[in-house]
């Protein structure tokens, strides 16, 4: 699946999206190659500086939405939109890294996925336990949760329990 992802992304370029451009196998590992983005991730900045001003969040939203649109033009979704996957460069560009990787590795999201609790902060309700890959709609849901977190200083459903987060995404407004 990772080899197919890299082939689909051949020639892809967008300033706000980092996607793998090469995939190599060794005896017991798969190595993905993508461009490096210097800068802290949004989660680090949120901890250091607190909530983001609305005008900054609007600019981050614009940049990431344009990047996600360019992925959607190739019938791809990012599948792992979260604070730790968005870097902010010195010139002020928000860059979403690791496009398509998480959903290529494991498309089903359950409490048994063994992910850290914060990995569930933007999980679209329709993806939970459904064995469905991420799509444009689930990326938009995750982007909305990320923007909420930047504005509010906390995820929509805070807490350290993955099951509680997944249940909240499915049942709460």
Q: Is residue 129 helix, strand or coil?
A: coil
pLDDT at 53 over 80: yes
pLDDT of residue 62: 98
pLDDT at 110 over 70: no
**pLDDT single digits (tens) 5-30:** 778 788 888 999 988 888 888 888 87
Nearest to 136 by CA among 96, 76, 87: 76
Q: Are 15 and 95 in contact (CB under 8 A)?
A: yes
pLDDT at 54 over 80: yes
What are φ and ψ of residue 147, in 5° steps?
-65, -40
Residue 42, strand partner residues: none
Which carries the bigger pLDDT value, residue 26 or residue 43?
43
pLDDT at 169 over 70: no
């Amino acid at each position: 699946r990772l080899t197919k992802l890299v082939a689909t992304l051949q020639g892809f370029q967008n300033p706000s999206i980092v996607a793998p451009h090469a995939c190599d196998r060794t005896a017991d590992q798969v190595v993905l190659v993508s461009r490096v983005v210097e800068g802290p991730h949004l989660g680090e900045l949120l901890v250091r500086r607190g909530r983001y001003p609305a005008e900054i969040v609007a600019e981050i939203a614009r940049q990431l939405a344009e990047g996600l649109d360019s992925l959607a033009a190739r019938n791809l979704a990012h599948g792992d939109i979260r604070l730790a996957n968005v870097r902010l460069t010195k010139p002020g560009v928000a860059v979403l890294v690791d496009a398509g990787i998480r959903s290529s590795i494991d498309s089903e999201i359950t409490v048994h996925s063994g992910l850290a609790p914060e990995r569930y902060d933007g999980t679209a309700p329709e993806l939970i336990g459904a064995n469905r890959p991420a799509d444009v709609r689930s990326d938009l849901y995750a982007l909305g949760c990320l923007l909420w977190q930047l504005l509010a200083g906390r995820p929509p459903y805070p807490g350290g329990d993955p099951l509680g987060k997944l249940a909240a995404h499915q049942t709460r407004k």
